[in-house]
Structures are given as C-alpha cells and as structure tokens.
Amino acid sequence: MIKDTLNYKLLNTLLLLLIILILYITRDLWISIYNIIINTLKPIITSIMISYVFNLYLKKLNKYFSKIISILIFIGSIMFSIIVIIKLVINISSQLKDCINIIYLFIKTYLVKYNIDILDIYNYLNKFENINIIDNIFKYITFIMIVISLSIYIFLGWDKIKQKIKFLSNRTTLDYLKNINKEIEKYTSSFFILIIINIIEYTIIFLIIGHPNYLILGLLAGILSIIPMIGGIITNIIALITAFTLNYKLFIRTLIGILVLSILDGYIVSPLIYSRGNKIHPVLIIISIFIFTKLLGPLGTIIAVPLLIIIMSTYKYINKRD
C-alpha cells in the first residue's frame, strides 16, 4: 500500500537536488581536490604529449634518412628551436617595452591635458603589488624541469611502453587505441605542415610590407600554430604593437598585411590542410578550446584539439561497434 502511494519520480528529483545541494555546500573541498589532481597530472600529460610528438617526428625522419642521421637532425632541430625561442623572447620583450613606454607617454599627455584624476587607476593597479613574482617563477622553473626529465624518460622508453600496452590490452582495446593513434597522427602531420606554411606565408607578407621583424614574426607564427586559431591572432597583435613603436605608416601596412593573412588562412591554407587531415568543424574547435582552457588552463588551450579528436574518435568507434 505504502509502495503504491510513493511518487518515485518526485523522490528521485528530491535526492538529485539534495546531492546538488551537498556538492554546492562542499564546493571548496571539491575544487581544491580538483586543483590538486590537475596540478599533479599537468606535467605528466605535457611530458607524454611532447614524447609522442618527438617520437612521431623521429619516425617520419626514419622514412627518409638513416637512424643516426635522423637522430642528428632531430637533436639539431630541437637546439635550433630553443635558440629561436630565446631570440624571440629577447627581441619581442624589448620592443614591447618600447611600446609600453610610448603608450604610457600618450596616456600621460592626455591625462594632463584633460585633467583626468588618476587616483582610481593607481588604486586599481596597487592591488597587484602583493603578487609574489619569485614564487611564480620558481613554480614555472620546477614545472619545466619536471616536464623535461619526464619527457626524456618517456621518449627513451617509448618502444617499451608500446610493447607493455600491447601485452596488457585485449584485441578490442588495442583496436581502439590504434584508431585513436591513427587520428592523432593525422592531426600531428597536418600540424607540422601548418607550421611550415605559416612560417613561409607570415615571413613573406611581413617582408613585402617592410616590417623589420619579418623573420622573427614568421618563426613566431610557426611556433604559435600549436594554439589553433588563437596563435595567429597573438602573432598579429605583436606585429601591430611592434609596428606601432616605429611609425604609423608601418602600422597601417601591417594592418593591411594582417587582412591578407586572414584571407589566406581562412580561405586557402586552413581548408587545404584540414581537408587532408581530421575533418573537424571550426565551431567545435572553438568550443573545445574554451572548455579545456577553463578546465586545464593554458595546457588545455594547446591540447584542446587532440582531446576533441580522442572524444570524437571514441564516439565513432562505439557507434561502429554497436
């Protein structure tokens, strides 16, 4: 009798609301646990990603060169990349400093001219005084050292890891992993091609418009290709800032150059590259970047597309099996 009078839908709804309420009340605990897990996994995920890309790069080289020459090219390209990144940081930071000084003088002139009270701006900026820069630098250095150590270890033992996975996996799991690997390899190959094309097109366009840092901006565009869609925007912003520090004519020419690059990337390069690789709608890429950046921070921005590929491949694989 009691069983007949119970409204199970209402009861389940109340239980669900109770669970949500408990989770909301204890949200600080769950957020702290989530942060601990993510901070622990970040160096591991980063190291695996770097090792995977390096092994794939070495695998591609082995198709055209002997093993010794492939390793020499591999080491040389890594050293060259490190030198380029250091040079980029030095050059761009000095020019950004000049740009900040110009903007500061511009703002200061107009503040004095129109008698604007800067007390509110000062109070706002004063909030950032308590940021411990030394602690943040130490955290980043520690993170980089852990990632380098793990990446080398995983890279050297990659074949053993693959053999272990094959030994421990059954046929179904192995097929699933092979399918994921195939899709990620396609994306990574497209990514390498995109880097080369971006370096060439950005270097040529900025050389034509007469930007003094055309080579640096071209290399920067290639490096920032690791961030889908956003990398090109960052390069364009830096190009505009550095042009602004020199003269307004170069700034206008740079703006025109960026419009040309947008047309090239939007209508020629991106469709050509991604039609040969993973066919993913741009809207899905933007949504995945937004979600994974919120969940994982800057690392999420970089690995958003590979994670999206894994999710889509998993969904397709399950449907295929069914």
pTM: 0.67
- Which backbone phi and psi does 271 adopt, to 5 degrees? -60, -40
Query: What pLDDT does 125 receive?
Result: 47
Q: Give the pLDDT of residue 102.
A: 63
What is the distance between the alpha carbons of residues 252 and 240, in angstroms, rounded to a whole number?
9
The contacts of residue 57 (CB under 8 Å, 6+ apart) are 74, 77, 192
Distance CA 147, CA 296 (A): 16
Nearest to 165 by CA among 177, 156, 153: 177
Note the pLDDT of residue 131: 47
CA distance 244 to 252: 9
Taken as a whole, the chain contains a residue count of: 322
Q: How many Cβ atoms are within 10 Å of 177's Cβ, its own excluded?
A: 14
Determine how many CB atoms are found less than 10 A away from the CB of residue 57: 17
Nearest to 281 by CA among 260, 250, 251, 312: 312
User: Are 93 and 242 a contacting pair, CB within 8 Å?
Assistant: no
User: What confidence score (pLDDT) does residue 181 get?
Assistant: 84
Burial class (CB in 10 A: 0-12, 13-18, 19+), 255: middle
Backbone angles phi, psi at 217, to 5 degrees: -65, -35
Q: What is the pLDDT along the chain (322 residues), one digit of tens a residue?
A: 445 555 667 777 778 888 888 888 887 888 888 888 888 888 888 888 888 888 887 887 777 877 778 778 878 887 887 787 777 777 666 666 666 666 666 666 666 666 655 555 555 545 544 445 555 666 777 777 888 888 888 887 888 888 888 877 777 778 888 888 888 888 887 788 888 888 888 888 888 888 887 887 888 888 887 776 677 788 888 888 878 777 788 888 888 888 888 877 766 776 666 656 666 777 777 788 888 888 877 778 778 888 888 888 888 878 776 6
What's the rounded Cα separation, in Å, for the pair 59 and 76? 16
Two structure tokens written together for 204: 């040529």
